[in-house]
Amino acid sequence: MSSLIEIKNLRAGIEGREILKGISLSVQPGEVHAIMGPNGSGKSTLASVLAGKSEYEVLGGSVEFLGQDLLEMNAEDRARAGLFLAFQYPVEIPGVSTANFLKTAVTQIRKFRNQPALGPAEFLALMREKMKLVEMDQSFLSRSLNEGFSGGEKKRNEIFQMAMLEPKLSVMDETDSGLDIDALKIVADGVNTLRNSDNAFVVITHYQRLLNHIVPDVVHVLWDGRIVKSGGKELALELEEKGYDWIKAESAVEA
Q: Does 44 bind Mg ion (CB under 5 A)?
A: yes
CA distances from 193 to 64, 111, 118 (A): 27, 25, 23
Candidates 36-44, 118-126, 152-160, 193-201 — which segment interacts with Mg ion by CB under 5 A? 36-44
Cα distance from N-terminal residue to C-terminal residue, the chain: 33
DSSP string, 136-168: --GGGGGSEETTT--HHHHHHHHHHHHHHH--S
52 binds, among Mg ion, ligand ADP, another protein, none (CB under 5 to 8 A by kind): another protein
Q: Which residue in 165, 183, 187, 202 binds another protein (CB under 8 A)?
A: 165
Output the smallest distance, CB 204 to ligand ADP, in A.
7
Could you say which residues in the range 78-97 bind Mg ion, by CB under 5 A?
88
Contact 50, 85 (CB under 8 A): yes
What type of residue is 195? Answer: R
Candidates 21-29, 42-50, 67-75, 89-97 — which segment interacts with ligand ADP by CB under 6 A? 42-50
Collect all residues with Cβ–Cβ distance below 8 Å to 214 and sequence separation of at least 6.
Answer: 32, 188, 191, 192, 201, 203
Q: Which residue in 32, 51, 200, 218 binds another protein (CB under 8 A)?
A: 51
DSSP string, 18-81: EEEEEEEEEE-TT-EEEEE--TTSSHHHHHHHHHT-TTSEEEEEEEEETTEEGGGS-HHHHHHH
Could you tell me where the beta strands, DSSP code E, fall in 110-223?
Answer: 144-145, 169-173, 200-204, 218-223
Contact 117, 107 (CB under 8 A): yes
Q: Which residue in 3, 14, 73, 194 binds ligand ADP (CB under 6 A)?
A: 14
45 binds, among another protein, Mg ion, ligand ADP, none (CB under 5 to 8 A by kind): ligand ADP
Output the smallest distance, CB 164 to Mg ion, in A.
24
Q: Which residue in 43, 103, 154, 226 binds ligand ADP (CB under 6 A)?
A: 43
Q: Which residue in 42, 52, 216, 225 binds another protein (CB under 8 A)?
A: 52
42 binds, among another protein, Mg ion, ligand ADP, none (CB under 5 to 8 A by kind): ligand ADP
Q: Which residue in 14, 99, 105, 126 binds another protein (CB under 8 A)?
A: 105
Rule CB under 8 A: which residues touch another protein? 51-55, 74-76, 78-80, 84-85, 87, 90-91, 93-96, 100-102, 104-105, 108-109, 112, 144, 161, 165
